[in-house]
Amino acid sequence: MNTQLARLQKRVAQTIRHGSDMLNDLILETAAVPRPIRIGIYADAYLLRLDEALRSNYPKLHLLLGDDDFLALTRRYLDTQPSRQPNIRWFGDQLAVLLDNQTPYADVPAFAELARFEWALGLAFDAADTSTPGPAILSTLADEDWQEIQPNWHPSLSVMAFNWNTLAIWRALDADEAPPDPQTIPSYWAIWRDSLQPCYRSLADDEAALLLSMQAGQPFGDACAALLAWHSADEAPNRAVALLSQWLHDGWISNLQTVVEITHPASI
């Protein structure tokens, strides 16, 4: 890039973002439109465009806070995380971190959880598409394979742990209803995409334990031990198979491999 142009771009960015006087020598001033007003037009347009992008990524958080407070949040976010991505879609990816750590937002932990959930919905929508085999693939497994099963998870799938009634708040806002007050209600949720539609559902504690164990890389046989906190040794395998079948039905799994296939892939 031309160094003179790069310096000019930097001066423009500094002026728009921080209200500096670095462009005073380049901006025409008239009695009708003073220099600060001319600069302010561009600075306001920049802020409002990014506020619009943040609203698009966090629509329910915007509803919860209202226009003015959300604009204040956008200003705060820009101060700590200026936009550096050429694609505006990714503006706001660190918003939950700010909500977690800066007052007054950190005083209401449900704000950060709501932001994480909305960002996860967006990631699920944008995730790559892969084919899913469905439960029928289980019938192709040999008896000796079951112990070593490791799924290839669909790219859109994520699992989230919440400590608050975040989904109840989100659902109320989505239905144009008054949201409930934040309450401490620990829960696990899965987020994924079905065709073009982001989806979510709650997870029972035993399902979350098995799913997280397998996502951490444990083969099926070892991960079944996570169910022993809820089920007997006789019941746990049947429950695990039922859950695995449900995940395949829901399209959470792109393929099943065994540990042997992963560590010693077949040559082509």
Dump the DSSP string for 4-54: HHHHHHHHHHHHHHH--STTTTTS---SSS-HHHHHHHHHHHHHHHHHHHH
CATH architecture of 109-268: Alpha-Beta Complex (3.90)
Average of pLDDT values for 99-107? 98
The answer for residues whose C-beta is within 8 angstroms of residue 81's C-beta and 6 or more apart is 94, 95, 98
| pLDDT(24) > 80 | no
Q: Name which residue leads in pLDDT, 33 or 85.
A: 85
The answer for residues whose C-beta is within 8 angstroms of residue 125's C-beta and 6 or more apart is 156, 193, 196, 198
Average of pLDDT values for 141-164? 97
Average of pLDDT values for 153-157? 98
The pLDDT value given to residue 73: 98
Average of pLDDT values for 27-51? 80
Q: Which of 112, 124, 119 is nearest to 54 (CA)?
A: 119
Residue with tokens 């009708």: 32
Q: Which residues pair with 187 in a beta bridge?
A: 162
| pLDDT(246) > 80 | yes
Is residue 219 a contact partner of residue 259, using CB atoms and an 8 Å limit? yes
Angle 208-212-217 (CA atoms, 0-180°, nearest 5)? 155
| pLDDT(23) > 70 | no
Lowest mean pLDDT among 59-73, 180-194, 245-259: 245-259
In angstroms, the CA 31 to CA 35 distance is 9
Over the stretch 62-87, which tens digit does the pLDDT of each residue have? Answer: 999 999 999 999 999 999 998 888 89
pTM of the complete model: 0.88
Write down the domain spans for the chain.
1-107, 109-268
The pLDDT value given to residue 25: 66
